[in-house]
Amino acid sequence: MTTLFTAELPEWKVLPLFAAALIAAAAPANAQTVKEPTWPQQFQVLQGENASFGFLVTQPGPIKVDVTTQTGQVQVELLGPTAQSLRKTGSGTLEITYTATAADVQKSPIWLVVISEANPTQPAAGHPPQVVATGSIRVTHPPSTGPIAQSALKSHVAAAPKRPVMKGAAMPASASALMASYQKQRAAQQEAQKLALERRLQATGAPMAMKSSTRPPIKMTLGPHIDSMNITHGQPGDWLLIYGSGFGTAGEAHVVVNPHMDVKAPQNVWTDTKILTSVPAVTGIGGYVGKIYVQSAGKQSAAVRFDFQPDTDWFDLTPVETMDDAHVDKTDLAPVCGDRGVCRDGSLDFWGHKGDDIFYGTTTLKNGWIVHEVNAGPFDVNGFSAGAYPVDSRVGTIYPYAKVHWWMDSFTSFNYAVVIIIKGPKGTTYYCPVAGQSC
């Protein structure tokens, strides 16, 4: 199972709140400055994403956006410090014109052209997005009055309100939620199983209020014998009803759960022909083709096959950009991210970016652990829109491999988290504690 997450595109009306400091005063001679790239530029629009191009307008005058599509229908939107954005939809040549006023310049120098699919579609879950439109863009606008300091452009992004709310989904799910749901479901299943077996025993006249029967056993010289069981495989806590003969009034039911572990099962009801017990609460081992046998009055029954299935543990793998087994696109990669997944800072970038990152490229899980679910999603989005979601994984296997596709608009920085939920035998580790050890 995979989940798509995209940070919502904000309304442009928030720009005047944080961009006033960028008015076009020339930067000090010793300050690093930013310069707008040249036009025209090629664009490629993927499903569910934007192609974005930013520019600065530092004095009043005409703005003209020319978009020529080669494939696909697009929506072209001009965003700036105006009350409403300007839009055109179609294919071929699309043109948007606007005259920036002194009031516009006073509000903010930041402008953005966003190109998106005219009739938006989303990529199939767990698959890479398809190219839906291509073409070129040219923007002409009044010449800049001077260079803009990097610090001034940074202040614009830093002042942008954070938007942690995701479009269409919540933040990536974690193992703790799945574990709680699993435990609740297992408890309900086992209680229902117990009640059903008790009703069956009551219907046959077996006493339910005592662990052993006071009814004299049928005399048997061959000792206990197992005829059948209600289940032939199960996990710890599953209820087990053993049918047979010669069980006497008391004894022991044993479950062999691995070659070196013979465990006495708890007793609930014991009669000469029926035993109600449960699979012992054993952890730290994997599944095993085991067996069950009964001991009574110094004699032992023949063993009957019983497949032991361990209870399940859940765990979150949360890869980061610096791990050895990661192949992360270096574009706008923030130098310090800690344990927060992947951090990208494109606050000085006039063009948007997109790419793919790979985590756990060669890692394998041990001791019966497998991948249950892979999720990814953005958080701490500053600027405009950004997104991240898994496009390839190995759910149901021992490989926690995850390929994550990400994209970000112009003048945007964001972080994204990856959560790989794995499950395995309770009490075991998903890795070898000693490097190079076989486990």
**DSSP state letters, 304-356:** EEEEE---EEEEEE---TTSTTEE---TTB-S--TTSSEEEEETT-SB-EEEE
> Closest Cα partner for 248 from 223, 277, 226?
223
Residues near 402 by beta carbon (within 8 Å), at least 6 away in sequence: 319, 358, 359, 360, 374, 376, 390, 392, 393, 418, 420
pLDDT tens per residue across span 254-305: 999 999 999 999 988 999 999 999 999 999 999 999 999 999 999 999 999 9
Sheet with strand 274-278: strands edge to edge: 225-229, 239-245, 274-278, 267-270
Query: Residue for token digits 């007793």?
Result: 267
Alpha carbons 393 and 374: distance in angstroms, whole number = 7
pLDDT tens per residue across span 167-209: 333 446 667 777 787 788 888 888 888 888 888 877 776 554 4
**DSSP state letters, 370-392:** EEEEEEEEEEEEESS-EEEEEEE
Q: How much is the pTM?
A: 0.78
Tens of each residue's pLDDT in the chain, 439 residues = 444 434 444 443 334 333 333 433 334 444 577 778 899 999 999 999 999 999 988 899 999 999 999 999 999 999 988 878 899 999 999 999 999 999 988 888 888 999 999 999 999 888 899 999 999 999 999 987 667 767 766 665 555 444 443 333 344 666 777 778 778 888 888 888 888 888 887 777 655 443 444 444 444 457 899 999 999 999 999 999 999 999 999 999 999 999 999 999 998 899 999 999 999 999 999 999 999 999 999 999 999 999 999 999 999 999 988 888 899 999 999 877 766 689 999 988 999 999 999 999 999 999 999 999 999 988 888 888 899 999 999 999 999 999 999 999 998 888 998 999 999 999 999 986 655 555 5
What are the E-state strand segments in 57-106? 61-71, 74-79, 86-90, 93-100
Alpha carbons 26 and 372: distance in angstroms, whole number = 55
Q: What is the 3-state secondary structure (H, E, C) of 108-160?
A: CCEEEEEEEECCCCCCCCCCCCCEEEEEEEEEECCCCCCCEEHHHHHHHHHCC
Query: Residue for token digits 């010289």?
Result: 221
The verdict on whether omega for the bond into residue 40 sits within 30 degrees of 0, i.e. cis, is yes
Matching CATH number, 178-310, of 3.40.50.1820, 1.20.210.10, 1.10.40.50, 2.60.40.10:
2.60.40.10
> Closest Cα partner for 147 from 21, 35, 29?
35
Radius of gyration of the chain (CA): 33
DSSP state of 96: E
Q: Which residues pair with 299 in a beta bridge?
A: 296
**3 state SS of 263:** strand
Can you read off the two tokens belonging to residue 317? 């793998």
Q: Domain coordinates of the chain in residue numbers?
A: 8-161, 178-310, 313-425
CATH fold, domain 8-161, is Jelly Rolls (2.60.120)
Residues near 176 by beta carbon (within 8 Å), at least 6 away in sequence: 314, 316
Evaluate whether 389 touches 2 at the Cβ level (below 8 Å): yes
Evaluate whether 161 touches 17 at the Cβ level (below 8 Å): yes
Evaluate whether 165 touches 5 at the Cβ level (below 8 Å): no
